[in-house]
Amino acid sequence: MTDRRPLLRAIFDAAVAAAHPDSILAAHLPQPPRGRIICLAAGKGAAAMAAAAERYYLDNLKIDPARLSGLATTRHGYGVPTRRIEIVEAGHPVPDEAGLKAADRTLALAQTAKADDLVLVLLTGGGSANWIAPADGVTFAQKQQVNKSLLRSGAPISEMNAVRKHLSRIKGGRLARTAMPAQIVTLAISDVPHDDPATIASGPTVPDTTTLSDARAIVARYNLPIDDAVRSALDDERNESCKPGDAAFANARFGLIARPKDSLDAAVSTARNAGYEVLDLGADLEGEARDVAAAHAKLAAKALSDKRRLAIISGGELTVTVRGTGRGGPNQEYVLALADILKDTSGICVLAGDTDGADGGAGAPTDPAGAIADQRTFAKIRELKLDPKVALENNDATAFFTATGDLLNIGPTLTNVNDIRVILIDP
């Protein structure tokens, strides 16, 4: 059978390229104000966005460098060289001390903004963990524990962020409130289903419609273990997020510069150009990774039976309810579940990866982005006598695909538009 791995990678790489700050940010940047430009950025693409903003203002518009300053907080290993905007690398998915200090400095910089200044906020996915500013009365360790519990709960990102926003001094519109009376322009690369501005990096500069009551209900729904201080914070009306109509948003503008659908469209176009019929399942899929994999396996088996040369492509963000002690992420678990179902089938190959370059993992830049499975994988399963079901039960996809040699290792991509999953059927 023809090796489809190069095509799988080409489809995935096209999705990533469609959302890279180097090619998309400049067209959306506002003109300089009378005063200063204070750039505040967070997320996995924050450093790349800051560098692109510097090129635009310093090289294209040739403004006085003294008028540009700022701080970009990104995941460890995702920094790039900059001239005026400082880069801080911090923890993700679990926040660390570097993120704690960077968030405090971000708030302090925002507080210096005057009416003639522009506060340019650049956001990508990962900003929620990078900007960690616990609500009064909540310790850093307690906030870390809440974050860990949310990550293990299987809750969708919108619910995770609803809790985070009500335990923060920067999320849920509070950064906009701090930066008043300056002009505030937020440019974001979406990594969330349906592109909700209030969910991207937990909406630090936009109104929030979720409430303390919602956050308490999510804690109860997933039976999250929380300290008394966290419980008290979620009962304290002073921790309610900024709502629509708040004066903080009178001089604030929000713009999306890249969406998961843009990247999905690029993936679809690449598959079509390679001669495949495409089943586009959309950019907003959610659900338990192994359950979605089972549904997609049925679609693939039907296409094989019908002798259709088909590419099944989807985006969105799946979840994993962690029950075992292994390592992995939703993309790896999705491929592992498919490998279990399809291991005795020929003519089907699959890739699933996070467009930021890291799928779950320990927060290192060397974490895998996802995994690939094809006939080579299935042969290794037989040769090594591996049992995908055992690996699934232990949530241990990373070890499984390390053994087969099928981890998708690409390193930091410097953007983040959720996951891309591709199944190619060649009857």
Which CATH number does the domain housing residue 91 bear?
A: 3.40.50.10180
Q: Residue 147: is its pLDDT beyond 90?
A: no
pLDDT (mean) for 285-314: 97
Mean pLDDT of the chain: 96
Which region among 55-59, 149-153, 178-182 has the lowest average model confidence (pLDDT)? 149-153
Domain CATH for 281: 3.40.1480.10
H or E, element range at 378: helix 375-384
> Is there a domain that residue 26 lies in?
no
* Predicted confidence (pLDDT) per residue in 305-348, tens digit: 999 999 999 999 999 998 999 999 999 999 999 999 999 999 99
> Is there a domain that residue 277 lies in?
yes
Residue where a domain terminates, one of 205, 238, 258? 258
Q: Is 74 helix (H, G, I), strand (E, B) or coil?
A: strand
Predicted local distance difference test score (pLDDT) of residue 381: 97
pTM of the model as a whole: 0.91
| 268 and 338 housed in the same domain | yes
Three-class HEC string of 324-342: CCCCCCHHHHHHHHHHHHH
Among 60, 33, 225, 201, which residue's Cα sits nearest to residue 117? Answer: 33
Q: Residue 361: is its pLDDT beyond 80?
A: no
| 125 and 199 housed in the same domain | yes
> Is there a domain that residue 18 lies in?
no
> Is there a domain that residue 23 lies in?
no
Predicted local distance difference test score (pLDDT) of residue 365: 87
| 234 and 336 housed in the same domain | no
Residue where a domain terminates, one of 258, 288, 304? 258
| 214 and 250 housed in the same domain | yes
Domains contained in the chain, number: 2
Q: Residue 295: is its pLDDT beyond 80?
A: yes
Among 188, 215, 213, which residue's Cα sits nearest to residue 201? Answer: 188
Which domain, by its residues, includes 51?
Answer: 31-258
> Is there a domain that residue 382 lies in?
yes
Three-class HEC string of 150-186: HHHHCCCHHHHHHHHHCCECCCCCHHHHHHCCCEEEE
| 303 and 237 housed in the same domain | no
| 328 and 384 housed in the same domain | yes
Q: How far is CA 38 from CA 66, 184, 189, 368, 387, in A?
A: 11, 10, 19, 34, 53
Q: Residue 208: is its pLDDT beyond 80?
A: yes
| 52 and 158 housed in the same domain | yes
> Is there a domain that residue 343 lies in?
yes
The proportion of the chain whose per-residue pLDDT surpasses 90, expressed as a percent, equals: 93
Among 425, 380, 420, 422, which residue's Cα sits nearest to residue 403? Answer: 380
| Start-end of H helices in 56-196 | 97-111, 127-130, 140-153, 157-165, 174-179
Omega cis (within 30) before 207: no
* DSSP letter (8 states) at residue 200: G
Predicted local distance difference test score (pLDDT) of residue 1: 61
Q: Residue 194: is its pLDDT beyond 90?
A: no
pLDDT (mean) for 113-140: 96
| 43 and 177 housed in the same domain | yes
pLDDT (mean) for 191-218: 94
Q: Tabulate helix, strand, coil % of the chain (nearest 5).
A: 45, 15, 40
| 220 and 323 housed in the same domain | no
| 88 and 216 housed in the same domain | yes
Cα 61 to Cα 301: distance, rounded to the nearest angstrom: 55
| 277 and 238 housed in the same domain | no
> Is there a domain that residue 368 lies in?
yes
Residue where a domain terminates, one of 258, 286, 308? 258
Give the angle 41-45-51 at the CA atoms, nearest 5°.
70
Cα 416 to Cα 189: distance, rounded to the nearest angstrom: 7
| 51 and 94 housed in the same domain | yes
Q: How many CB atoms lie within 10 A of CB 369?
A: 29
* Predicted confidence (pLDDT) per residue in 68-96, tens digit: 999 999 999 999 999 999 999 999 988 89
The span from the first CA to the last CA of the chain, in angstroms, equals 10
Q: Residue 158: is its pLDDT beyond 90?
A: no
> Is there a domain that residue 25 lies in?
no
